[in-house]
Structures are given as C-alpha cells and as structure tokens.
Amino acid sequence: MLIWGRTGSSGRVITLGAVYRPQLPPENLRSVVLAAEESGVDSLWLWEDCFLESGIACASAALAWTSRLKVGVGLLPVPLRNVALTAMEAATLDRMFPGRVMIGVGHGVQDWMGQVGARVSSPLRLLREYTDALKALLAGERVTVEGRYVRLTGVALDWPPSAPMPVYVGGLGAKTLDLAGEVGDGTILDASADLERVRAVSATREHPVIVYVETDSRDRAFVTDLVTSVAAAGATSVILQQSATSEDPEGFVRFVGSLDGVTA
C-alpha cells in the first residue's frame, strides 16, 4: 500500500490514489486496474456520472480483478438510486471483498437528475434522509422511515456487512459540506476545492477527508509538491485525476504508484 508519509506532529497517515474517469471506455478499465494493483496505488476511484458508466458495475469488476487494491465509488447520485438498492449493492461488495470497498454519495448533477425525472426540490433534505437510511441499513438495522423522499417499511438486509462500512458524503457547497460533516463517515471534495476549502473542511471534522486533485503532469517534483500542499491542508487521502481528454490512463496510474512518500 502506498503511504504518502506522515504529516505534522499528529502523525496522520496520508494515502494516495487515482481516478479512472468514466469518459474512458469501460473495456479499458481492466488494464488500468491491474496497473494500480501492481504499482502499489492505495485506491482507485470510480465515478457514476450520467450517462457514462455504472459505478457499481465497474467497482465489481475492479475488485474481482485484484486482491489488494481498494476501490471507491464517489459519488453515487442519490436521486437516481433507491436507497435499499444502494445498500444491497454496497453490502454485497463488502462481503465479497471485505475492507476494500468505499462508497460515497452525493446530490448528482441536477441537470442530469432532471433529464431522468429524478430531480427533487430539496437536494439537502434528500441527501440527509438517504445517508441516514443507508447507514442504518448497512449497520444491519431494520428500518422504517416515512421521510419526505425516503420511505421504507421494515426493510433490513439479509446480508449486511460483517463489519462497519463507512459511508462517505461528497459535495462542494457550504451547506452540503456541513451536512457531510454531520451525517457522513468521511467527506469527499472534488477537484474544484482550493486549499482554503480543504483547510476549512478538515478543521471542522474528525473523520477522513478525501480530496480529488486534477493534474496531467508527470513531473515528480511538481506532483510531490502538489500532494504535499493538499495533505498539509488536512486531506487524509489525495486522489489524483487526469483531465477528461488525457490519454494513457494506465501510464498515469503507474506514475502515481511510483511516487515516494514524503512528510508534509
């Protein structure tokens, strides 16, 4: 597992990961996943962007092709998915691949949600109800709830995770990030977050903060400095992503795996 060193006097361990963007063909995923496994990258992250690739389907394949790599799906758009279905899929993956699955949820792009008839008038209310219900289901509880958006009657998983499974919440707006700090087991920040936003978020919560960072550079010194600055701002995981138009994702993942740990 690639560890990016320890930051400051607190001794936090910083992990380094990479993204496989859904703009890339799904048939190319396997070579990138194997490159991540072989090169020592800690985690590979997948996105469920409409209308590109299923995050869960890609995660299932990635986990089956590997034995060490952690695989994250961040984010799953909650208006698009019934919470019971997400709980079933997450629990199934976790039981087949214990400790290697990370699930993140968020609003989804509102225009896309509108295209499929799933846009809601209060995305924050939905995300709160959804995250609370998802965490309860994954904890093995029998859930009955009559919310504004989430409605369950006596729902319980027959095969819940055998150990606690964190639910990450992602976003960028202040209200969404406040909610993530309140109901999530971790926070995911996308690549539009600057260092001030990373510092502000990290200072207000004890749980993991995962930060996506976009770069096409393969200059070791530049990337090392970039990761160090994000880690010093409070990120617990730094996930490097290429731009949507970049080529050679396999080579990029191998480059990420080759980076040496430093102290931020």
- Read off the pLDDT band of 108 (50, 70, 90): very high
Say whether pLDDT at 1 is over 50: no
* Residue 130, helix vs strand vs coil: helix
The pLDDT mean for the chain works out to 93
Predicted TM-score (pTM) of the model is 0.94
Buried b (16+ CB within 10 A) or exposed e, 18-54: bbbbbebeeeebeebbbbbbebbbbbbbbbbbbeebe
Mean pLDDT of 127-132: 98
Residues 101 and 90: beta-carbon distance below 8 Å: yes
In one letter, which amino acid is 64? A
pLDDT digits (tens, 9 = 90+) for 67-99: 999 999 999 999 999 999 999 999 999 999 999
Specify the residue for token string 């020592």: 40
- Calculate the alpha carbon distances from 31 to 70, 90, 213, 238, 245 in Å: 16, 24, 22, 22, 18
pLDDT digits (tens, 9 = 90+) for 216-236: 999 999 999 999 999 999 999
Q: Which has more confidence, 6 or 261?
A: 261
- Calculate the alpha carbon distances from 160 to 91, 121, 135, 139 in Å: 5, 31, 11, 7
Mean pLDDT of 185-210: 96
Fold of 3-258: TIM Barrel (3.20.20)
Mean pLDDT of 203-208: 95
- Calculate the alpha carbon distances from 82 to 74, 106, 118, 133, 151 in Å: 16, 13, 11, 11, 10
Residues 32 and 257: beta-carbon distance below 8 Å: no
What six digits make up the tokens of 209?
């903060």
The predicted structure's pLDDT at residue 246: 87
Residues 166 and 183: beta-carbon distance below 8 Å: no
pLDDT digits (tens, 9 = 90+) for 4-44: 444 443 556 799 999 999 999 999 999 999 999 999 999 99
The predicted structure's pLDDT at residue 6: 40
Say whether pLDDT at 252 is over 90: yes
- Read off the pLDDT band of 3 (50, 70, 90): very low
Q: Which has more confidence, 190 or 262?
A: 190
Please, which residues bridge with residue 77 across strands? 106
Please, which residues bridge with residue 16 across strands? 238
Residues 137 and 157: beta-carbon distance below 8 Å: yes
Q: Which has more confidence, 126 or 244?
A: 126
Mean pLDDT of 188-215: 96
The predicted structure's pLDDT at residue 260: 60
